[in-house]
Structure 1
């Protein structure tokens, strides 16, 4: 299971904004998983790259005249491990690990933002929220492209 109390991972938006886990309303969950990618490898590096790039973002919102991220509290937990005993976990295991981790975080009252990794991580996140909220939730998935070709179905 993902470490909840402490984290050594590069925090989202920089260390000056990271509250303690109990005070955070939003949790960033890095999921550097890459097993079923069909074209080019490297999506497992996405979470670390996003966290690093986030340090260049401005926390201040000019229209609201507030530092929203600081007020809300964003905490970055340890990435979900994609290996066990030196072997990459299967897609089914990753789905289960992701679902259980997201469910724990959500039951702690956190709004979970999962950052992947490959597309398959979304299923574990959705299943966790479905278990908690039924069908009363919304998924926002951001991707570099739409994956809308019939061959992907």
Structure 2
């Protein structure tokens, strides 16, 4: 059955069917955009639960209505998610137990030097990076647009490595409560708190533009300052101050977008949002954005002519008997998919 046949036979107004992302009738083979799930949270430093994010978002996505006012044919794009790799989830679960014990020992004065547990975890995380790179690169070579769904915020490094083989120069637009510029936080080379420090090691990452940052340490401020313009940070406190003084969010978005080159990768930690939208994320921080504020930024980014070459959504942690975080995550994921497609000419806006 062709993709056209699938579209002709599907009723987008019917209740969403569980099992497929957003209840859509597409598979990774016939979809234009493929989501790579990475159920991994080995290095989280506070609360865990993000490894369950991909499965929870998949389940909650059936509740997302498919019609988008600005993009009437959004659902016809073809979005599908690869199966959640249960072997990764099980390995993550075992290593997370070891990591939690190691972190506890650190809090009690333990050392990071010559620690076999730390060495084992760092090796496993590098193996994960290789898996993510190979998996995303395979989809890219097959002509797919690709998004990654974590897991904690360490998970997209392999994806960034894959994109670095396809693009000579691109920027990372990071929406986050945290700067994530720590070097090997708690001794973990690939800590979730070190993702942007590690991303900056890639020469193709010409610029890092951080938005909504409101929890950071002196070490990270020094990284920002030493970067000499390669890192541009829009602190949440400063954004709010400008708004209190009468500057519109629309005008602030224009300033953010001006810092970005043509090709943009979006790295979205859900704790960049107001914690009421993601109360169970691993490290919530007071402040942050409302849903439609980030939607406005993404829409303006695309309408400015920038091209989204990939994205990740991370740190969605569902709570028992409460799928609120996953519900918000699913709607954010649909937004990212649709506007990435518009930026690549795969979907058209109404005006």
Q: Same fold (TM over 0.5)?
A: yes
Asked if residue 143 in structure 1 is aligned to residue 269 in structure 2, the reply is yes
Q: CA deviation at 1:144?
A: 2.8
**1:95 aligned residue:** 129
Asked if residue 11 in structure 1 is aligned to residue 36 in structure 2, the reply is no
**Consecutive unaligned residues in structure 1, runs of 5 or more:** 1-8
**1:51 aligned residue:** 58
Find the aligned partners of 1:119 and 1:24 in 2 and give their Cα distance: 25
Asked if residue 72 in structure 1 is aligned to residue 77 in structure 2, the reply is yes
Q: CA deviation at 1:76?
A: 1.3
**2:225 aligned residue:** none
Q: CA deviation at 1:33?
A: 0.7
Contact persistence 1:59–1:67 (CA under 8 A): no
Contact persistence 2:27–2:81 (CA under 8 A): no
Find the aligned partners of 2:19 and 2:66 in 1 and give their Cα distance: 17
TM-score by length of 1: 0.77
**2:167 aligned residue:** 133
Find the aligned partners of 2:125 and 2:32 in 1 and give their Cα distance: 29
**1:4 aligned residue:** none
Find the aligned partners of 2:154 and 2:70 in 1 and give their Cα distance: 36
Find the aligned partners of 1:49 and 1:20 in 2 and give their Cα distance: 19
Query: After alignment, is 24-33 or 138-147 more displaced?
Result: 138-147
Asked if residue 34 in structure 1 is aligned to residue 41 in structure 2, the reply is yes
Find the aligned partners of 1:126 and 1:10 in 2 and give their Cα distance: 28
Q: CA deviation at 1:87?
A: 6.2
Find the aligned partners of 1:22 and 1:128 in 2 and give their Cα distance: 20
The runs of 4+ residues in structure 1 deviating greater than 6 Å are: none
With over 3 angstroms needed to count, the CA separation of the structure-2 counterparts of 1:107 and 1:41, relative to structure 1, is same
Q: CA deviation at 1:145?
A: 2.2
Q: CA deviation at 1:23?
A: 2.4
Q: What SS class does the counterpart of residue 29 from structure 2 fall into?
A: helix
Q: What SS class does the counterpart of residue 105 from structure 1 fall into?
A: helix
Query: Where is the helix percentage greater, Structure 1 or Structure 2?
Result: 2
